Amino acid sequence: MFSRSRLLWALAVVVLLDGRHAAAAEKPSWPPRLYGFCMELPAVRNPSIPDQAKLLGELGFDGVGYPLWLGDDMDKNLRSLDEAGATLHLAYMTVDLDPKKTAFDARVPAAIARLKGRPVTVSVLIRGFPPGDPRGMQRAVKILRQLGDLAAKSGLRVSIYHHLGDWTESLLHSLEVVKTVDRANVGVNFNLCHWLKIDGDKDYRPVLRENGKRIFAVTINGAQRGAKTWKNGLIQPLDRGDFDNRELLGLLKEIGYRGPVGLMCYGIPDDTREHLQRSMQTWKSWHAPANDRKTLAFAAGGKQFSFDTGSLSGVLRQQGKAKGLAPLVDAATGTNLSRPLGIFSHYRLLATNSRYGHAAWDWTDESKLSKDGAVEAVWRADEKHPFDMKAVYRWTKSDTLDLVTTVTARKDLARFEVFLASYFNGFAESWVYAKDPEGKGGKAAFLQANRDEGVWHMFPRDDRAIDTIRDGRWKQPPHPVNWVIRPKLAGPLAMRRDRQTGLVALVMAPPEDCFAVSTPYGEEGHRSLYLSLLGQDFKAGQAATVRSRLVIRRDISFEDAIRIYREYLDECNKD
């Protein structure tokens, strides 16, 4: 990520979470304070240290982090920070384990001494041998003990910054080194992006719980689990990605961590001021008092829209893509309930023997925040899409989202369909409200989608819906689907249940607006539910509007779900 030659000029914002043994000048606090570690800010031309401190201050950051300055630069730069009212929280340096080279600059001891009385952690990148090479251990222990002794004289601490390609690229190896060093003021960072890159197949939680006293700093950022690249993958603003940072912060609080906090954003391609501002807004929303957070209005941030209803929080249209709600976070547990493709995403656009583009999320649109806090997205007809489409998302309760979709045809369309998709994280049970589940003339009930009945299950409204499903639309690439036709619907209502959390997700629509409900069997990897909306013929210029609703609550019984659905239908009939 950081090349050796450009380390001092990497674009980054760092979150530092000091451990329970914070430096003497640092007063423990929660929620933590956010500070920036920014060596190059595109929003500032030829940025000087005062310019950087000014920008971060304007955006609400508590302070800054920089390389460990040497010689005359130290006094000059510290004076600039003091004049700007910016606290220096982190200073990093490099150590070379190559026995033929000097371990570190001869000016380092004086620089560390000059930091006495400041709440600084000295973070060390260790190079000179391949990652984990045992030849480096003896020299590393000696150097870290020396640095630890120097730092102790100034009341400071030293932490190993585990970094891809370094001798200590792995946190687990770094912890072994620290145990061997055996100094109370020598510990490690937990760097989220490098953890995910090197040890992402492991669970970080037991590592933090078992080594809390040795973890002196934590860098976090928005991140996409399983990504291989930094850009748009392992390093993103806090409002993006599917890694659950709130769970991480909750764990750190649980085990007694306090101190300043910030954000790593190396290589983020967005405008610097904009993405830092979005991250700060997200950070504040995480820590706002519950009464301040409870609002049913979306908030605009760049091309996407954030929300925190008090029960659920997250982002709609992440990075401007029409992929619904992602992330969608449960306030009670901090768990992300959605997969990257989102919940209530307009997916396939179909007609008889036809498919228009790959998905609506690949179709360019415009979105805006309405005065009442709803979000309106508009897609204009083009060569691939002979129709206009509009979607309006609106929270009506803290756990209830309504979606209204309008289509206006620009040519005749045969049985046109909007396939609305929802992808859940967890929720291994999938149920659909069927008219006669046993096929014996019984009463309506929920029917579970099981593997022995097939992979992809489609529940039609009526015989005409079956004809529509089989009219060639599902043979269109990419990813054609061979649906197993299940019993007819008692009403367009489906449920995903998560036994571990007790959470239940309901998706529903009025019968006249939705001609089928579909799902893979419960444990299948997509963990999805789909509503087939419209399904009617259009003449050029004709428009139609359909409605749908998402409800997420705990411990909803089948009887509760049916009652909630009937209440929804009553509301629709009154409109």
Full domain range(s) for residue 220: 7-287
Of 31-45, 51-65, 226-240, where does mean pLDDT reach its minimum? 31-45
For residue 492, list its beta bridge partners: none
pLDDT at residue 319 is higher than 80: yes
pLDDT at residue 20 in the model: 39
Of 236-240, 462-466, 480-484, where does mean pLDDT reach its minimum? 236-240
Tens digit of each residue's pLDDT (9 = 90 or more) over 192-208: 999 999 999 999 999 99
How many Å apart are CA 480 and CA 482, to the nearest integer? 7
Query: Which of 265, 287, 309 is where one domain is finished?
Result: 287
- Do 131 and 37 have their domain in common? yes
**Segment 523-535 mean pLDDT:** 97
How many Å apart are CA 402 and CA 366, to the nearest integer? 19
How many Å apart are CA 124 and CA 528, to the nearest integer? 45
Tens digit of each residue's pLDDT (9 = 90 or more) over 349-393: 999 999 999 999 999 999 999 988 999 999 999 999 999 999 999
- Do 257 and 108 have their domain in common? yes
Of 14, 15, 22, residue with least CA distance to 258? 22
Residue 233 lies in a domain: yes
**Segment 56-79 mean pLDDT:** 89
**pLDDT-derived band of residue 281, with 50, 70 and 90 as boundaries?**
confident
Residue 80 tokens read as 């600039």
pLDDT at residue 18 is higher than 50: no
**Segment 86-98 mean pLDDT:** 93
Q: 127 — phi, psi (to 5°)?
A: -130, 180
- Do 373 and 280 have their domain in common? no
The radius of gyration of the chain's CA atoms, rounded to the nearest angstrom, is 27
Of 112, 36, 25, 101, residue with least CA distance to 70? 112
CA torsion through residues 74, 78, 118, 266, sign: negative
Residue 328 lies in a domain: no
Running DSSP on this structure, what letter comes out for residue 56?
H
Of 58-72, 148-162, 253-267, where does mean pLDDT reach its minimum? 253-267
Question: How high does pLDDT run on average in the chain?
Answer: 89
Of 378, 382, 388, 392, residue with least CA distance to 408? 388
- Do 458 and 382 have their domain in common? yes
Residue 118 lies in a domain: yes
Of 163, 303, 183, residue with least CA distance to 230? 163
Between 30 and 571, the more confident residue is 571
Residue 265 lies in a domain: yes
pLDDT at residue 13 is higher than 50: no
Q: 35 — phi, psi (to 5°)?
A: -135, 160
**pLDDT-derived band of residue 568, with 50, 70 and 90 as boundaries?**
very high
pLDDT at residue 289 in the model: 61
pLDDT at residue 348 is higher than 70: yes
Residue 521 lies in a domain: yes
**pLDDT-derived band of residue 1, with 50, 70 and 90 as boundaries?**
low
**Segment 6-17 mean pLDDT:** 41
- Do 406 and 263 have their domain in common? no
**Segment 409-435 mean pLDDT:** 97
The residues, ordered by sequence, that sit 6+ positions from 522 with a Cβ below 8 Å of its Cβ are 428, 429, 430, 448, 449, 450
pLDDT at residue 38 in the model: 59
Residue 71 tokens read as 């010689």
Query: Which of 287, 306, 330 is where one domain is finished?
Result: 287
**Segment 414-441 mean pLDDT:** 93
Count of C-beta atoms within a 10 Å radius of residue 498: 21
pLDDT at residue 350 in the model: 98
As a whole number of Å, the end-to-end CA separation of the chain is: 55
Question: Domains in the chain: how many in total?
Answer: 2
How many Å apart are CA 186 and CA 174, to the nearest integer? 11
**pLDDT-derived band of residue 285, with 50, 70 and 90 as boundaries?**
confident
- Do 67 and 143 have their domain in common? yes
SS (H, E, C) 415-439: EEEEEEEEEECCCCEEEEEECCCCC
Q: The domain spanning residue 557 has which CATH number?
A: 2.70.98
**What separation in angstroms does the CA of 352 have from each of 349, 355, 413, 414?**
11, 8, 8, 6
- Do 276 and 369 have their domain in common? no
- Do 154 and 253 have their domain in common? yes
Q: Following CA atoms 416, 422, 428, 430 in sequence, which dihedral angle do they give, to the nearest 10 degrees?
A: -40
Of 173-182, 291-300, 518-527, where does mean pLDDT reach its minimum? 291-300
CB 275 within 8 A of CB 320: no
Share of the chain above pLDDT 70, in %: 91
Share of the chain above pLDDT 90, in %: 65
Query: Which of 287, 312, 328 is where one domain is finished?
Result: 287
Site of tokens 């008092």? 289
Of 2-11, 127-136, 221-230, 495-504, where does mean pLDDT reach its minimum? 2-11
How many Å apart are CA 575 and CA 570, to the nearest integer? 9
pLDDT at residue 28 is higher than 60: no
Q: The domain spanning residue 153 has which CATH number?
A: 3.20.20.150
How many Å apart are CA 442 and CA 304, to the nearest integer? 47
Running DSSP on this structure, what letter comes out for residue 171?
H
For residue 497, list its beta bridge partners: 429, 504
Residue 295 lies in a domain: no
pLDDT at residue 191 in the model: 92
Running DSSP on this structure, what letter comes out for residue 72?
H
pLDDT at residue 325 in the model: 97
How many Å apart are CA 482 and CA 475, to the nearest integer? 8
pLDDT at residue 6 is higher than 50: no
Tens digit of each residue's pLDDT (9 = 90 or more) over 253-274: 888 877 677 788 788 888 888 8
- Amino acid residing at 111: A
- Do 250 and 348 have their domain in common? no
- Do 236 and 377 have their domain in common? no
- Do 352 and 279 have their domain in common? no
Residue 304 lies in a domain: no
Of 186-200, 318-332, 449-463, 532-546, where does mean pLDDT reach its minimum? 318-332
The residues, ordered by sequence, that sit 6+ positions from 56 with a Cβ below 8 Å of its Cβ are 35, 36, 38, 63, 64, 86, 276
- Do 107 and 193 have their domain in common? yes
Give Cα 435 to chain centroid, integer Å.
Answer: 38
User: ω into residue 478 within 30 of 0, thus cis?
Assistant: yes
Residue 317 lies in a domain: no
**Segment 425-439 mean pLDDT:** 92
pLDDT at residue 7 in the model: 40
493: phi > 0 → left, psi -120 to 50 → alpha, else beta; which?
beta
pLDDT at residue 331 is higher than 70: yes
CB 304 within 8 A of CB 319: yes
pTM of the model as a whole: 0.57
pLDDT at residue 63 is higher than 90: no
